[in-house]
Chain A
Amino acid sequence: MSSDAEDRTRSQAEVTQEATPGSTRQEGRPIQGSAWKRLTWPARRVLRTAGDRYDRMAKPARLGVSAGMVVLAAAVPVLLPYVTADSGYWTSVATKIGIAALLALGLNVVVGFAGLLDLGYVAFFAVGAYTFALLSGAGRYAIAISRSQPNAFKLLPTWHMYFWLLLFVALLVALIAGVVLGTPTLRLRGDYLAIVTLGFGEIVRITATNLNSLTDGSQGVNQIPHPAINVGSVHYNFGLNNEAYYWLLLAVIVIWIFLLRRVNDSRIGRAWAAIREDELAAASMGIPTIQMKLLAFAMGAAVASLGGVIYASQIGFISPDSFQLFSSDFGSVIILAMVVLGGMGGIAGPIVGAALIIFLPERFRFVGDARFLIFGGVLVLVMVLRPQGILPSRRRAAELEGGEVRETSVFEARQAGS
């Protein structure tokens, strides 16, 4: 057969596949497996077809769906009063979910995309929070400066004006910290990497505890300024308005997701996928594995740091206790649990995981400390029944399930389009 003819048959095959978005396989196949699988088949099918649909949508339609979701998320603080009497409290929970989602999306780059098990992720959250807290003029260090040079603050009268500047400074500091911590570490693999990152998480926390002269040790830093906007005639201080922080977080998350999608659809995303599957083979394809892993690590660090800045400026107080490994809010282990529970390697998964892990203990607050028992039970249950997470990326699901999911080639779709 001539190559032309082959080409034609092949493209026809493609067309037929396009025309039936994964449906022949799903409907035609008898449902096998456990009772659980049969029971949840409709739900999983809905999720999967929804994902397929989304993938196959034209670009404007996809943008529309995404925009709709953002608008919906933005409307949450406005809608909450209609749902609950205690809307103030639930808005603060929503803000907490925002920070958690940002952290989970950041850690997902490290764990889900590059396949590096990082147990010290909270370190970068702490780096961001402390960088902002100290540079913003809170804490003993700043007080000492103001005592010796009473005019220092007059030169910079409104520190909170610099929130936006400091946001970037903290981001840069975390990027550097990510590279510094990552360079010696990322030569290790798997369990060894996990143990070393665990150590780094603790090193940062213990440093914060013992660096009294700068961080005030376990007393923590208080009176951290809130962010403010002072542009022209607009003067707005975020103060204790949880809605404002919520929208700020939402904006950061949206920007991050946008960047993430672009990066993950690029050569870098392909390199990460290859490293995750077989690092040696990836290296022999000419992929600079160390640099790629470092990039994932630094990107994750930068996002965690943004989360830390917003967290510190909202709460107004941080101490080393805020950054414990098992801290019930944003400990490394909890963030990892969000990523794993929600599903690695995608965008929606970590957000869902973050929302559930923050929401459930709050919802069951009325049962007292037993809520953690329930929470743990739910986690175990989900992991047993759905080890790939609630909303995994389909590529990751394929890796775990051994091929139940037929994968459409991401790269190919892109190449055909270009």
Chain B
Amino acid sequence: MGTALLRLQGVVAGYGRGDVLHGVDLTVEEGAVTCLIGPNGAGKSTVLKTVSGLLRPKRGRITLLGRDIGGLSPQAVLSHGVVHVPQERSLFPSMSVWDNVLMGGFVLRDRAVVRRRIEHIADRFPIVANRRHERAGSLSGGEQKIVEIARALMLDPVLVLMDEPSTGLDPRARQLVFHTITEINEGGRTVLLVEQNARSGLAIAHHGAVMESGRVRLEGTGSSLLADPEVARLFLGAAPANRG
């Protein structure tokens, strides 16, 4: 730990004419879970989209292990080992669970590799094995999220970008999703997590960053941000009672 895997320097990006990100500086350390929190509209999701190539940065540098990946196509970013699990449900609803996971390996040309990876994923995620024939659309929201994460692992990524994975899930499913994130991180993958649910997000994060109006305002370890009264007041809601 300690080396920077992903580094954003002065990234400016947005949709159409308006900018959402006004110069984002952020470092994601290798092997860590980094959690990005902040109010709605702060640009958290936009950061992920810019990194994964779905949105082209207008200015600034994005480097992965020192190599520039800013402005590459989504395919090219994928081939650098960066996968994006979007916020909205993104499984192909009428395809089977198994086909969905296979689709995660679309850019892989070698069938033997695909076969090996999916077997491995089926071992690690029982839902992929047990419900392989079911339509992905018939799974519950939490189950779908787990399959999405499983699908993202098809490319054996070095960095997983996860956009609000707990949205719309009940507490148990949410817990399972966070548990899964911790697990894949312990397996050696770096995770950049965007979470509206700041408490749960920071609780599993090694490092946290607070965004506001398109900039990173505060950074620190997950636990230090959780303890920070300013963060608590601004974003966590329900300020700790009677401080000071």
Residue from B54, B74, B96, B122 in contact with A407 in the complex, judged by beta carbons closer than 8 Å = B96
The answer to whether B107 touches A407 (Cβ under 8 A) is: no
Q: Which of A36-44, A225-233, A273-281 contacts B (4 or more CB under 8 A)?
A: A273-281
Decide if A399 is an interface residue (CB 8 Å cutoff). yes
Contacts of B133 in A (CB 8 A): 17, 406-409
Determine if B107 and A286 form an interchain contact, defined as CB atoms under 8 angstroms apart. Answer: yes
Cross-chain contact A6 with B90 (CB below 8 angstroms) = no
Instruction: Please state if B94 and A398 are interface contacts (CB–CB under 8 Å).
Output: yes
Flag if B94 contacts A399 (CB, 8 Å).
yes
Closest to A410 in B: B99
| Distance of A226 from chain B, by nearest CB (Å) | 47
Interface set, chain A 249-273, CB cutoff 8 A to B: 267, 270-271, 273
> Using Cβ atoms and an 8 Å threshold, which residues of chain B touch A24?
none
Asked if A411 contacts B99 (CB within 8 A), the reply is yes
Chain B residues closer than 8 Å to A6, beta-carbon distance? 122-123, 129
A residues in contact with B98, CB < 8 Å: 409, 412
User: Among residues 129 to 175 in chain B, which have CB atoms less than 8 Å away from a CB atom of chain A?
Assistant: 129, 132-133, 135, 137-138
Cα–Cα, bound, A286→B133 (Å): 24
Find residues 322-367 in chain A having any chain B CB closer than 8 Å to their own CB: none
8 Å CB contacts to A: which residues of B42-88? 52, 54, 74-75, 78-79, 84, 86
- Closest approach, in angstroms, between the C-beta of A397 and any C-beta of chain B? 9
> Is the CB of A287 closer than 8 A to any CB of chain B?
yes
Give chain B residues whose Cβ lies under 8 Å from the Cβ of A270. 102-103, 106
Partner of B106, one of A7, A287, A408: A287
Tell me which residues across on chain A come within 8 A of B74, comparing CB atoms. 283-284, 286
Q: In this assembly, does A285 line the interface, its C-beta being within 8 Å of a C-beta of chain B? A: yes
Tell me if A30 counts as interface (CB < 8 A to partner B). Answer: no
With A270-B106, A284-B54, A409-B99 known as contacts, the answer to whether A403 contacts B90 (CB < 8 A) is no
Question: How close is A307's CB to chain B, nearest CB, in angstroms?
Answer: 31
Taking a contact as CB atoms closer than 8 A, the residue among B86, B94, B122 that contacts A281 in the complex is B86
Q: Mark B114-129, 1 if CB is under 8 A from A, else 0.
A: 1100010011000001
Report yes or no: A274 in contact with B86, Cβ–Cβ below 8 A: no
Roughly how many angstroms separate A410 CA and B96 CA in the complex, as a whole number? 10
Q: Does A48 make an interface contact (CB < 8 A)?
A: no
A17 contacts which chain B residues (CB < 8 A)? 133
- Contact A281-B92, Cβ < 8 Å, known A270-B106, A288-B75, A415-B115: yes
Q: Using Cβ atoms and an 8 Å threshold, which residues of chain A touch B84?
A: 284
CB-CB under 8 A from A283, the residues of chain B are 54, 74
Q: What is the size category of the interface that chain B forms with chain A?
A: 20 to 34
- Check if A3 is an interface residue, CB within 8 A of chain B: yes
Q: Does chain A have a CB within 8 A of B38?
A: no
Q: Which residues of B contact A409 (CB under 8 A)?
A: 96, 98-99, 132-133
Count residues of chain A with CB under 8 A from any CB of chain B.
Answer: 35
Return the chain A residue nearest B115 by Cβ: A415
Decide yes or no whether A10 CB sits under 8 A from chain B: yes
Contact with B along A36-76 (1 / 0, CB 8 A): 00000000000000000000000000000000000000000
Shortest CB-to-CB span from B114 to chain A, Å, is 7
Task: Tell me the minimal C-beta distance from B55 to chain A in angstroms.
Answer: 12
Cβ-based interface call for B243 (8 A): no
A20 at the interface (CB under 8 A from B): no
Q: Which residues of A contact B92 (CB under 8 A)?
A: 273-274, 277-278, 281-282
Contact between chains at A273 and B129 (CB < 8 Å):
no
Q: Note all chain B residues with C-beta closer than 8 A to A267.
A: 106
Q: Complex: how many Å from CA A28 to CA B122? A: 30
Q: Is the CB of B104 within 8 A of A285?
A: yes
B120 nearest in chain A by CB position:
A3
B137 touching A280, Cβ below 8 Å = no
Given that A286-B106, A403-B138 are known contacts, is A281 also in contact with B91, CB under 8 Å in the complex? yes
**Closest approach, in angstroms, between the C-beta of B115 and any C-beta of chain A?**
6
A418 interface hit (Cβ, 8 Å): yes
Supposing A280-B90, A395-B94, A415-B111 touch, asked if A274 and B123 sit within 8 A by C-beta, the answer is no
Measured CB to CB, the closest approach of chain A to B53, in angstroms, equals 9
Q: Flag whether B95 is at the interface (Cβ < 8 A).
A: yes
Q: Is B93 an interface residue (CB 8 A)?
A: yes
* Chain A residue at minimum C-beta to C-beta distance from B92: A277
Contact of A284 (CB < 8 Å), options: B52, B99, B115: B52
Cβ of A415: which chain B residues have Cβ within 8 Å of it?
A: 102, 111, 114-115
Q: Which residues of B contact A399 (CB under 8 A)?
A: 93-94
Task: Name 26 A/B residue pairs within 8 A (Cβ), A-sorted.
Answer: A3-B119, A3-B123, A10-B129, A274-B95, A274-B106, A277-B92, A278-B92, A278-B93, A280-B90, A283-B54, A284-B84, A284-B90, A285-B103, A285-B104, A286-B74, A286-B75, A398-B94, A402-B137, A407-B96, A407-B133, A408-B133, A409-B98, A409-B133, A411-B102, A415-B102, A418-B111
A6-B129, A284-B52, A285-B103 known; 7 other A-B pairs, CB under 8 Å?
A10-B122, A270-B102, A277-B92, A278-B90, A278-B93, A286-B106, A407-B95
7 smallest beta-carbon distances between A and B, as pairs: A286-B107, A281-B90, A277-B92, A286-B78, A399-B94, A286-B75, A3-B123
Spell out A's residues near B (CB within 8 Å): 3, 6-7, 10, 17, 267, 270-271, 273-274, 277-278, 280-288, 395, 398-399, 402-403, 406-412, 415, 418
